[in-house]
Amino acid sequence: MKKKGTPCSKPTWLAVLAVMLWMLPATMPVSAETTLPRIIKNGEPVQHQQEQQDDQWYHWEDVQQLKQAAPGWMTFINHSQGYELEVPDTWEADMSLSAVRAVLEDAETRLEIYYDNFNRTVHSASSYIAYSRGFLDNRLDHQMESRETISVNGMTVDFLQWRRTPMAAMEADRPYYAKAVYVKNSREVYTLLFKSTRPLENHREIIESFRLTETTATPGLHVNYKPVEREWNEGTQRFYDHYFINNEEMAWGIFESSAPRNFSPLTQLENQLDHQFRFLLLYKNLGSEFPRQELINARERDRHVVLTLQTEYLDKSLNNRSLYALLEGEHDHLLAAFAQGLKDFGDPVLFRLNNEMNGDWCSYSAYWSSMDTEVYLASWRYVYEYFEKAGVNNVIWVWNPHDDSFPGFAWNHYLTYYPGDDYVDLIGLTGYNPGTYFPGEPWRPFHEIYPPLYDEYMRLFQHPFIITEFGSNSHGGDKTQWIHAMFYHMPRFENIRVAIWWNGIDWDAAGNPGRIYKLDEAPEYVAAFREGLSRYKTPPLPPIPGEAADDETDSETDEEGTTGGADSEDAEAADEEDETGDTESE
């Protein structure tokens, strides 16, 4: 039996002190010298101390470390890309796109780090350096402050510093830039791209600290994007559910330059194919008016429009500052007309904004705006929010890169252009067989384009897919066989809900047909496509129960299929405007 007053009944102050001293290292901040390294594994920070202390990782994992360096600095070690450098210890790391870039940033400054290996490509270190300066041709918005060649840890470094016109529409805009390109050899480079809200500081120290290390891990993509719930009107929700959720069979669409203004050429083609296309691809640009009548024409024939708005002019000389002008509000009148027109139309429209942004043939590519894809992201959100404020609730947003980024540089990777789940409803796929008419372009079999593209997108996106445009040239190979192969592979792509053939021509500089994607170019192409389409009988969107079969319309249709009173001269003018030819001639 224990007595009162013995140590077992109440701990003494010495015992309490001993326990507190024993617990001290785990419960209080420790000095910089004893701080454990922070580890990022497969895009996520490692939480457990034991796992942090174990620096033996499998080579297929994606691993980075941040270690305390001098006061106020830390060493960022990228084991997956083979380098390290010192950065301020207040910066946070984002390795979600590790296979594309590393991002280190705070509220003011952002550093993007890219690695490029140009083996088996048309690029080289020297062409990369020269080509990545193309935006400087726009001297109105870009002011070069410094350019020099320096040496860092045995590597030649091309250094460039500049600033651009600030954009009030960009939240926390970073218009001050610097870039350092480290030439590892003639085919490999590392790039540090700095962006800041104010004139840069300490970037020279960071640049001079860059060192190559052994590559002991594997970079990856650690993202999984998915759509969000929308507050569409009833008709748009029914349309989306019918074609993109519940429909077990893929629907087909087409780009025919005259439709939906004039249906005559399309009707002739559909008669040959014994198939009615449900979706029509329509292009508009900064010189266009809102296509009210064309949307009405399509609705009268139970067709649905993929409305593509490209914020550039047909006259390329006017496009040097395409995105900057948009963000400065220069084209708000156009956005107002489109927002109001879509709202008044009321029925669902697939809205494809600035497609193929990862191609330098588009003036809204980052190639034209400081290699900075955040400018594109801001422009997309600017248009989206403009429509939201206007109360547009019948638009389905289609985000659509090209399958082949050009230039093929890491800073131009298509994923760096993704504006975020809140702004995207459908993922568009685009890949062409351009044929061999233009020098340097290969014949691309269907199985080399879409199976790998589809598989990669399925790993990254949970959205429904739509092939917004595709086709095969007839120059350089067997187009009939290409069509048969396409229909052979299509059934495995269960998440592709709509596929749209681009029935047009890309012309060379002399006005000769270069890439001929037209189906009605030859009877054998029509026959092959008709055979493939015979397997698809996608029903049209059923009417809402109780809805009148014949709504009051705003136009009359003549027997030839020309609507809205447009004569042949008007139709030809519209064709010239709409047939933009996304895959540019060289």
The tokens describing 76, both together, are: 């960022």
Catalytic residue chosen out of the listed positions 256, 294, 356, 441? 356
The tokens describing 461, both together, are: 């996106």
Give the C-alpha separation, 206 to 199, whole Å: 15
Task: Note if 456 is an active site residue.
Answer: no
Give the C-alpha separation, 256 to 266, whole Å: 6
Which residue is it, tokens 């920070």? 45
Give the C-alpha separation, 467 to 343, whole Å: 25
Integer angstrom CA distances of residue 400 from 87, 272, 459, 486, 494: 35, 30, 16, 20, 18
Task: Note if 469 is an active site residue.
Answer: yes
The amino acid present at 230, given as its one-letter code, is R
Contact (Cβ atoms closer than 8 angstroms) between residue 269 and residue 504: no
Give the C-alpha separation, 577 to 81, whole Å: 46
**Distance between start and end Cα atoms, the chain:** 99
The tokens describing 553, both together, are: 């319309």
The tokens describing 268, both together, are: 């002739």
Residue 579 burial (10 A CB sphere; 0-12, 13-18, 19+): middle
Catalytic residue chosen out of the listed positions 86, 105, 112, 469? 469
Q: How many CB atoms lie within 10 A of CB 227?
A: 18
The tokens describing 106, both together, are: 């705070």
Helix 523-533 and helix 479-489, axial crossing angle in degrees, nearest 10: 10
Active site residues: 356, 469
